[in-house]
Structure 1
């Protein structure tokens, strides 16, 4: 269970560091002299030089008076840069809609010149190397500035972090008091105010392609994420602040909630919880500002703006969440306070931080040599480890490169590793490994051919290697804010595995891999329609966006975006393929109406190809173009990878006999004819059954269909039970999707002669838009019902494995945890009620 630390004190509408009308002072004010050694980071009056134009003089208002636009943010960054010798700025990426991601680097003038930044890069590179002598490390720690990142607005409708970051930039550019000078003397600060300008302008959480970019970090499918990570490689952080907003008015900052990923360097976690977290606890307590921690924001999934800086760079990666119901001045001021406290704390401890930072890379090398994986822990009182990391040494990972059909898939993994500074090698001679553990199989003696990629764990990036190439994330605690599986080889469906043996193979450094398209684009240029099931459903918007990205940017395939009303209006004419992503099937079916269903049946029966998944698959059954049936699951699977068996035939081209399907509470699909099945879940307990990620009761999937292809008249319906293109990074099943678009499917003479399938009875599957799920033992049922009642929640109850019960709380607007009015308070409420859940899934 999760603890929440809350100070029950009156909220303040303006902090001592901000004027009531906003956050930025309208004019510089001198500060009285401060005695040496008594400089308080937040109580020292701000003294401005007046060399940099105030935000009001540039924008016409103080920061915090109203939210800035993306263009106004860019303008202010440019003006500050032109006016201050402490600042340089640039653009690290361009969005899909052509907006720049503007950053600024602020520090001592000598540190932000071209020569100064180059010197910092070289020094930091030496500090990252485990082989740098300790004498040199101590010297570098003394004379090298810490690199501290301040970012905001990765979610476009969570604006205050960006406004506060601009205030931080302005103050560091023009203040001359001891508090500001200490940061400038000790640190180089990278400020990226707006990480999602397209979303900010649309007042939308997601970017222009519907991606939640705080889920994209390890995959870096989006240009905004990719450019940011390249900049992080150049200026690797010791601190990374990712400023968000949440529901309510309180402020969240670390310590984090469980679960926390096992292979994170322990000193980095201690920085987060004990150094910076405690500094903010002390400051907020002193001021009487309400805050929470140890609540619902975990440090587990490798797609976040805190986990990736922490695991990939040994930084103190931290998510800050200010309640969005507070007034704009309060939001901006409190965001600025956490940023300033964090920067000040880092500056005050700079030498020790840089020395410890180097030590984490050295320790990672030692762990890799020993084959030591860090064990699972829980960090919050009252929690217990659910799953432990296996006590098996892992000294090496290998990726097979001997399947020409998988060349692009393997290279995409190697490229991702190389672009996070992982050393990858190529075997110059075949290697026999006595304990080679292929993914999802038992260890066995295996000979790996020449050309196999070898990734030794004995290097400074050991933690990142484990995070990316793991067989399982070994979820330690059953609270889920996001998915529990993301292994790159499984996502790409490439062969590989690990070994714990002491090996020194003949190998050469792998060549840098250029950008690669994986999976390759479908053959030909079919006329494609994309049927978005709903304009408002989160599932529909995201799944359609992920598909649009794949079609636009990866496969370069034109398409026409359709609504169910368009189908009813006869706009299928001239199309070869209709792709129907996830979304609410019953809503789309109602919007189709009789006219739309008839149009769809006529189009498929006349030779069209319908490819649907999740809700799009269920819609096919409702519309009468498939005889597949769907039932609700009883299992708890919040987002895991399952091995599926793949039958031969055109849809399996380049895929192989197995693939890895991402699955998360999707309906179970069964084909009316076994010959229609393209991919299926193995029988539970069989040699092929394997799950990477958390699951309870997933055995029910055994024998059900993951994908099927059904002839309908002169056309075909191809269905996937779950998302084959999840967040545009499940490249292995996206290969099945690519084949489904253009592969030549065999005609069925009987189907040609028969009438089109009559409309099936409505599927007995509920359309749930990112609901809250709480699974508990029967004995805890009354306490959970009372807790949900206290929030005014309405729910349904479902049977769960082992006689347990699941509460499913509707979330019809698809609100995220950031936006939901009470979901963030649920874990603490359950703990107070002494409920020990089997699984809790938050939106």
Structure 2
């Protein structure tokens, strides 16, 4: 262990050398506050101090022709105002962190005292020194006393949730132009990074998602979108102690933390304390004083690692917070309340600057200590009445390893290493073989294993221990059965890369890995490709098709033609070799095809076409008479988990190995008409191959069913996936099978084109189109209480038997609205509690 510590000390030496050679005073706040942690005097209340403006900064009205809050600004107006403030003020510097898919710049501003703006490089270096876990505590404390905090305000990651942008601009204007004590206190203690809009394309289109239909508040760890990637690179440059992510929701109330359970287990406890006891408490006091309706400890959790709060919390040890203002309020009220929470939070951070920075440095030292000891943080719940349902296993985890010997896994492994490095995780490579007596391959028992030279080694003894665990985990160990989003996201499992962990004290011979370049995902084929989009207004269709278009455009770099069902009957399949049919409402698509379209589709496949469909696209294949697979609705509760599935081999499975991790979220249960057609299957639940990462209740029903089928149809093929193999464009392991379905030479068939199977069609027709349904699973004894709640909301639903004699309510969600957009979904958890219902699982739409 001493050798390991010395190795890490050597790694840190260069960073420490930079820190100690900074010019005297180069990183101090301007001026250094006498008592940053003290309670501010009553004479300088953060929100009641009358604002005093210098007059040097132009007003929004003078630049835009209206005051902020009179109407929503456009992206261009936001950029114009930001530039005008930057030009007029020596407190501000601005830049562009990325360009959106449609070519719009993502503009940001940094505001502070003129001295701190001039010293930004030194402040950046000081903050990164504080982040170094090997900086001794006395040195960190001394540096914290003279370093300003870095605080972030970001808005509008969902394009149709506009007021965060307008409020952020108001905050920028006040910090740049006010000279009263309340503004000065923030400026003297912090530099504030303001990103008014994170989604300019979505803002201009008034859509939640970006131009590729990605919900970018789910993209933070994968960073598939340029908007997300550029933002996180700027976060790495200016690591925050506070990150505000301003959203809107249905209704008129306001949400700010404390959060709902579940909260991811491996995060630093001080970050939760800052969120709840500093910022949350400050906002509760302010909103209570003003009589503004608000709620907390409900709806918005802190679990999935793709949010604008969980990633700042886990990846940067910051107080990451989601703020939600009801979108039914007028823009003036929305802007005012969003700006109020921003100002209160910035003021609370400024008042405790040295305390927060000192603790922040300590968080990284503690993370290093935990990693060295192999300690994982336990699960806990934070809200009264909740109980932990799953505890983190009592097993040491000191190291993760990624194997590098399989050429088929090279691109996936390099992508994982790159993602880790670009979140400042230290990655090494073994220079000699290493025998590990307790190596635990993902989903397998511990076994003595010799790892060859070249294996990637990620030690947990580092400041980014929490992020390493979040990204490399075998399971997320869901602590509480409430699901605002999915429950599995481990990078090696998503990419189908071999690896595992060890709790042993090891002294590997290893060398640091140089920064890994982005691997090329380009594939080539002479086949002509079509993409059939089902029902444009459908969110499921828009998202699944958008994820596919992104994969085709940005990763595989393949050209394609987009069709709608009406094009099929009109001869749109002529000249195409492959038709990709993503998720969407199959019954609607089938009706839009009509008899002529169904006939044309069957004839095209029988003549040698290749139909590749998933989820709703698979259901459409059955309804149209292209396939004879049997489909059924699931009875399990699986809100988004990863299953090991077995691969039978052949060209479709090329590069996947004997198994592949398949992402599943209330998807179809599929059985092949001929078992030999099943290319990828779920193993039996009692098999040693059965492995699930994430929450799953009753998932044994999937055992022995098909995940992927290759069905010969005349001279063609129907390649069908039960679930989306390209979920959010980050399930790279199963996306490889889609690439094979496009490019591989499948066995030529002379199968007789079968007439449509009426039994299969009836089974498929019995599976309703589910647009992001709300799901509530409860003991049968509580059925009447839940029905009463839903009746009160005017909801429509179906009831299903669930495992253990429970009942599942599947509630219709016309339009596929997210929980933010839905008129009452956000109130459902509280309504269940009020009625005394303890659900087995609640899944809100995302």
TM category (shorter chain) comes to over 0.9
1:839 and 1:523 map into 2 onto residues whose CA distance is 44
1:651 and 1:793 map into 2 onto residues whose CA distance is 43
Which residue number corresponds to residue 578 of structure 1? 579
Kindly indicate whether the alpha-carbon contact (under 8 Å) linking 1:712 and 1:756 is maintained by their aligned counterparts in 2: no
Which residue number corresponds to residue 513 of structure 2? 510
1:490 to 487, 490, 493: 493
Which residue number corresponds to residue 26 of structure 2? none
Tell me by how many angstroms 1:525 deviates.
3.5
Which residue number corresponds to residue 139 of structure 2? 136
Kindly indicate whether the alpha-carbon contact (under 8 Å) linking 1:601 and 1:756 is maintained by their aligned counterparts in 2: no
Kindly indicate whether the alpha-carbon contact (under 8 Å) linking 2:716 and 2:749 is maintained by their aligned counterparts in 1: no
* Structure 1 residues 36 and 686: CA distance shift in structure 2, 3 A: closer
2:464 to 461, 464, 480: 461
Kindly indicate whether the alpha-carbon contact (under 8 Å) linking 1:522 and 1:741 is maintained by their aligned counterparts in 2: no
Tell me if 1:221 matches 2:224. Answer: yes
Which residue number corresponds to residue 13 of structure 2? none
Which residue number corresponds to residue 614 of structure 2? 613
Which residue number corresponds to residue 300 of structure 2? 297
The 5 A counterparts of 1:781-792 are 781-792=783-794
How many residues were matched structurally?
Answer: 803
Which residue number corresponds to residue 3 of structure 2? none
TM-score under structure 1 length normalisation: 0.94
1:66 to 62, 71, 86: 71
Which residue number corresponds to residue 40 of structure 1? 45
Kindly indicate whether the alpha-carbon contact (under 8 Å) linking 1:522 and 1:739 is maintained by their aligned counterparts in 2: no
Deviations 1:780-800 (A, max 9, x none): 111111111222222111111
Which residue number corresponds to residue 273 of structure 1? 276
Deviations 1:294-335 (A, max 9, x none): 011000000000000000000000000000000110000000
Other structure's SS at 2:109 match: strand
Which residue number corresponds to residue 125 of structure 1? 128
1:839 to 832, 838, 841: 841
Structure 2 unaligned regions, length at least 5: 1-39
Deviations 1:145-199 (A, max 9, x none): 1000000000000000010000000000000000000000000000000000000
Q: Which moved more, 1:87-96 or 1:137-146?
A: 137-146
2:549 and 2:410 map into 1 onto residues whose CA distance is 24
Tell me by how many angstroms 1:761 deviates.
2.5
1:525 and 1:387 map into 2 onto residues whose CA distance is 50
Tell me by how many angstroms 1:521 deviates.
3.7
2:335 and 2:388 map into 1 onto residues whose CA distance is 38
* Structure 1 residues 45 and 500: CA distance shift in structure 2, 3 A: same
Kindly indicate whether the alpha-carbon contact (under 8 Å) linking 1:529 and 1:579 is maintained by their aligned counterparts in 2: yes
2:412 to 409, 426, 437: 409
Which residue number corresponds to residue 556 of structure 2? 555
Kindly indicate whether the alpha-carbon contact (under 8 Å) linking 2:43 and 2:49 is maintained by their aligned counterparts in 1: no
2:54 to 49, 57, 65: 49
Which residue number corresponds to residue 767 of structure 2? 765
Structure 1 unaligned regions, length at least 5: 1-34
Tell me by how many angstroms 1:755 deviates.
5.3
1:523 and 1:625 map into 2 onto residues whose CA distance is 27
The 5 A counterparts of 1:686-835 are 686-749=687-750, 751=751, 753-754=752-753, 760-762=760-762, 763=764, 764-835=766-837
Tell me if 1:470 matches 2:457. Answer: no
Tell me by how many angstroms 1:527 deviates.
1.1
Kindly indicate whether the alpha-carbon contact (under 8 Å) linking 2:524 and 2:558 is maintained by their aligned counterparts in 1: no
1:206 and 1:653 map into 2 onto residues whose CA distance is 34
Which residue number corresponds to residue 288 of structure 1? 291
Kindly indicate whether the alpha-carbon contact (under 8 Å) linking 2:531 and 2:581 is maintained by their aligned counterparts in 1: yes
Kindly indicate whether the alpha-carbon contact (under 8 Å) linking 1:217 and 1:225 is maintained by their aligned counterparts in 2: yes
1:179 and 1:420 map into 2 onto residues whose CA distance is 34
Which residue number corresponds to residue 539 of structure 1? 540
Other structure's SS at 2:187 match: helix
Other structure's SS at 1:486 match: coil
1:128 and 1:454 map into 2 onto residues whose CA distance is 22
Other structure's SS at 1:807 match: strand
1:316 to 314, 319, 334: 319
Tell me by how many angstroms 1:758 deviates.
5.7
Kindly indicate whether the alpha-carbon contact (under 8 Å) linking 2:637 and 2:696 is maintained by their aligned counterparts in 1: yes
Which residue number corresponds to residue 502 of structure 2? 499
The runs of 4+ residues in structure 1 deviating greater than 4 Å are 753-760
2:248 and 2:695 map into 1 onto residues whose CA distance is 28
Kindly indicate whether the alpha-carbon contact (under 8 Å) linking 2:606 and 2:753 is maintained by their aligned counterparts in 1: no
Kindly indicate whether the alpha-carbon contact (under 8 Å) linking 1:147 and 1:237 is maintained by their aligned counterparts in 2: yes
Tell me by how many angstroms 1:674 deviates.
1.1
Which residue number corresponds to residue 178 of structure 2? 175
Which residue number corresponds to residue 601 of structure 2? 600
TM-score under structure 2 length normalisation: 0.94
2:214 and 2:152 map into 1 onto residues whose CA distance is 23
The 5 A counterparts of 1:215-254 are 215-254=218-257
Tell me if 1:365 matches 2:368. Answer: yes
